[in-house]
């Protein structure tokens, strides 16, 4: 969670929703967890929550004047965080007192009979507060802070964290879960009912909660190829369900995660191509940030697949998705020269002719998109210096000139013909957009010399080349 891609607001809401669902399931079966903290909330690659390490065997009540018991039983990670409900800390009494709730082997110390659902609710509230305020870098409570919150009602610490949360519904939910008085905390079931259609979108309840377990939580485990086949057949309906609510949050990022979590487990060529088709359909409806952070890396992974057909599909999908990016963060200004182009450079000399043809078909559009990204980076706001336009454009020319030359001099005529028919005009503009870019002119002269008969038979291509050369000479 501390590295890119960072969790988005809708992903955190989905985690919050699932945690409340897990608590509702436990409490419905008369089971209390007893030690809810981030370390015991597991998350899968498809953003499914698992609540682990039920701790009903640990003591329910702890002495407030001796942190040793707390450290031994509950601070195993040594993070110094304390998410135990405040009512579980009690004053110590004399050993002979009958009112002593923490001495001996009584039911209070064994814990299993005395844990209450509202204790879990408080601990879950602490974990969720840390999740939603992770940018502050501080946990809600340490041991001494929790005791001060319990004894003196010092709400300043909690209020400081809550004020950084913009969503009013979320603040209201966490405030209730973190109430000092256990009676003020509601059950997980009530919270889920209260926030339906408010904090949590309707499709959490009506669709995702039942759809995901069918494929990802069933026994026996469904193979990744079967999951992609099911998603491929359902994707149009899924997009309709999630986008019809017109919320500010990009809910399709949850579906994107479902798809990308399957990629490394795919074996069949058709499944990988279906996966790329799903990603392209998602890219049409999702945000630029999701395309760059969540979709692009997996397309580039499939671009190195052993199957030539998958590599071809990956190149086509890559070009389409990059064209759909409308806003470019400053942090991604160099995504073409530093990431995209190096990742696919080897495909221009790929052993499979169909892959080289696909590259020839897409390279002009990729070059045009790279210039558009560079122009956007000059206008975008954000941290970091503004890239030097002329220098960055020169680097793009240097990187693509070798690739274009390789395709123009390919041993297969179909590769050269595809390049000429698909993007010669765009490439002329790209290489002619900087003064002194004579390299591409030399390439064209070489092609005219080596492939005169081929070009002569295609007067449309020849006219494009001659027009470009005439314009360049006049300039």
Q: Would you please indicate which residues are annotated as catalytic (active-site) residues? A: 35
Phi-psi label, residue 386: left if phi above 0, alpha if psi -120 to 50, beta otherwise:
beta
Cα–Cα–Cα angle for 460, 464, 470, rounded to 5 degrees: 140
Q: What are phi and psi of 181, to 5 degrees?
A: -80, 120
Give the Cβ contact number of residue 235 at 10 Å. 18
Which residues are paired to 42 by β-bridges? 50
Which tokens sit at 428?
């002329």
CA distances from 263 to 94, 126, 221, 259, 298 (A): 62, 34, 16, 7, 8
Rounded to whole angstroms, how far apart are CA atoms 322 and 86?
A: 52
Residue 41: Cβ-neighbour burial (10 angstroms; 0-12, 13-18, 19+) = buried
Rounded to whole angstroms, how far apart are CA atoms 85 and 178?
A: 9
Q: What are phi and psi of 50, to 5 degrees?
A: -125, 125
Q: What are the CB-based long-range contacts (under 8 Å, 24+) for 66-74? A: 66/92, 67/143, 70/143, 73/35, 74/35, 74/37
């Amino acid at each position: 969670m501390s590295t890119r891609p960072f969790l988005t607001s809708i992903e955190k809401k989905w985690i919050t929703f699932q945690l409340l669902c897990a608590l509702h399931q436990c409490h419905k079966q008369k089971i209390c967890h007893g030690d809810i903290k981030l370390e015991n909330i597991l998350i899968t690659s498809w953003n499914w929550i698992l609540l682990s390490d039920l701790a009903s065997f640990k003591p329910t009540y702890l002495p407030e004047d001796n942190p040793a018991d707390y450290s031994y039983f509950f601070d195993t990670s040594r993070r110094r965080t304390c998410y135990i409900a405040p009512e579980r800390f009690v004053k110590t009494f004399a050993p002979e007192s009958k009112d002593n709730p923490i001495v001996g082997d009584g039911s209070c110390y064994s814990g299993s009979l005395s844990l209450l659902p509202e204790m879990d609710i408080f601990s879950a509230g602490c974990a969720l507060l840390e999740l939603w305020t992770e940018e502050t870098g501080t946990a809600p409570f340490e041991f001494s802070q929790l005791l001060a919150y319990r004894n003196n009602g010092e709400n300043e610490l909690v209020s400081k964290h809550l004020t950084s949360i913009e969503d009013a519904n979320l603040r209201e939910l966490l405030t209730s879960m973190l109430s000092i008085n256990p009676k003020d905390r509601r059950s997980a079931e009530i919270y889920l009912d209260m926030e339906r259609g408010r904090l949590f979108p309707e499709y959490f309840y009506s669709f995702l909660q039942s759809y995901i377990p069918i494929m990802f939580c069933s026994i026996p485990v469904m193979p990744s190829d079967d999951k992609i086949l099911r998603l491929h057949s359902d994707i149009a309906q899924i997009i309709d369900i999630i986008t019809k609510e017109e919320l500010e949050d990009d809910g399709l990022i949850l579906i994107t995660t479902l798809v990308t979590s399957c990629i490394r487990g795919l074996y069949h060529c058709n499944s990988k191509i279906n996966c790329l088709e799903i990603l392209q359909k998602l890219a049409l409806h999702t945000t630029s940030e999701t395309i760059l952070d969540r979709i692009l890396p997996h397309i580039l992974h499939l671009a190195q697949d052993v199957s030539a057909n998958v590599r071809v599909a990956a190149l086509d999908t890559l070009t389409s998705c990059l064209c759909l990016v409308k806003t470019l963060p400053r942090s991604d200004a160099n995504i073409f020269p530093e990431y995209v182009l190096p990742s696919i450079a080897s495909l221009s000399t790929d052993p499979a002719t169909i892959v080289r043809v696909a590259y020839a078909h897409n390279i002009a559009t990729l070059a045009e998109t790279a210039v558009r990204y560079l122009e956007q980076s000059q206008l975008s706001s954000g941290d970091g210096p503004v890239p030097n336009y002329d220098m960055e454009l020169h680097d793009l020319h240097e990187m693509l000139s070798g690739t274009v030359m390789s395709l123009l001099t390919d041993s297969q005529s179909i590769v050269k013909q595809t390049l000429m028919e698909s993007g010669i005009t765009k490439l002329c503009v790209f290489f002619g957009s900087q003064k002194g870019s004579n390299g591409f002119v030399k390439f064209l002269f070489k092609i005219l010399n080596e492939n005169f008969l081929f070009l002569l038979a295609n007067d449309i291509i020849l006219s494009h080349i001659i027009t470009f050369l005439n314009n360049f000479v006049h300039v």
